[in-house]
Amino acid sequence: MRLVLLGAPGSGKGTQATRLKEALGVPHISTGELLRAAVAAGTELGKQAKAVMERGELVSDDIVLGMLEERLGQADVGNGFILDGYPRNLAQANALDALLARLQQPVDVAVQLDVGTELLVQRLAGRAQQEGRADDNPESVRNRLRVYSDQTEPVIDFYRQKNRLICVYGVGSVDEVLARVLAAIEGASGKS
C-alpha cells in the first residue's frame, strides 16, 4: 500500500501514520524526519539542506524530492509506504507523481483527515501548553491553517481528479479514527 496522508496541522497525521505503519506493515516516511536525518548524517543532500537552513531559507523542493527518492530506493519500501504531510502544494504533488511514476510506485490512495477548524485550534493550543511550542498560539495556528488551506486545497483536488482521494472524519479516539481510515483504504482497494 502506497499512501499519502493529508491533513491540517493538528489533524492527527503523525499519530495515525504511526498506527498505520503498524497496521499495514509499511514504513512511515516524514519529510521533516528525512531532512533532520540527512543533515545529522552529513549526506550530500543533508549538507545542501543545512546550508540553506543556516541562511534562514526554506529547503527547496528539489532537495526534499532528492531525499525522498533516496528513501524510496531502500528495500523496506518494497511493499509500500506512508507519506506523512507531503506533498504540501501542487508543485510538490506533480513532482512526487512524476518521481513515483519513474520508480513504478504510484500512490494507491491519498487519505485526508478531516477535522474542523475550531477543534484544530483547540488541539494545537493544548499541544502548545503541553510542549511549550510558540508556533501553536491561537493566532499563529489560524495563520498556519489559512496557509494549509490555500496551499493544500489544490493537492486535495489533484488526488480527487486521479480518483485516489478518500476523506476520513478525523474526530474521535485514535482507535476510532484508525478504524475509519483502514475501512476507507480497504473500500478504496476493493474498487481498484
Active-site position among 21, 142, 144, 160: 144
Domain residue limits at 88: 2-191
DSSP state of 6: E
Tell me, yes or no, if 88 is annotated catalytic: yes
| Alpha carbon distance 106, 72 (integer Å) | 12
pTM: 0.85
Check residue 80 and give left, alpha or beta (phi > 0: left; psi -120 to 50: alpha).
Answer: left
> Residue 119: which CATH number?
3.40.50.300
Choose the catalytic residue: 21, 50, 133, 160.
133
Confidence band (pLDDT; 50, 70, 90) for 127? confident
Angle, CA of 154, 179 and 152, to the nearest 5°: 10
Tens digit of pLDDT for each residue in 41-95? 998 988 988 887 788 777 888 988 999 999 999 999 999 999 987 898 999 999 9
In the annotation, is 133 catalytic? yes
Of 50, 127, 142, 160, the active-site residue reads 127
Among 6-10, 86-90, 132-136, the minimum mean pLDDT is found in 132-136
Q: Is the pLDDT of residue 114 over 70?
A: yes
* 16 CB-near residues (< 8 Å, 6+ apart): 5, 113, 170, 174, 177, 178, 181
pLDDT at residue 129 greater than cutoff 80: no
Q: Please count the structural domains in the chain.
A: 1
Selection from 30-39, 48-57, 114-123, 154-163 with the highest mean pLDDT? 154-163
146 in catalytic set: no
Identify whether 144 is a catalytic site residue: yes
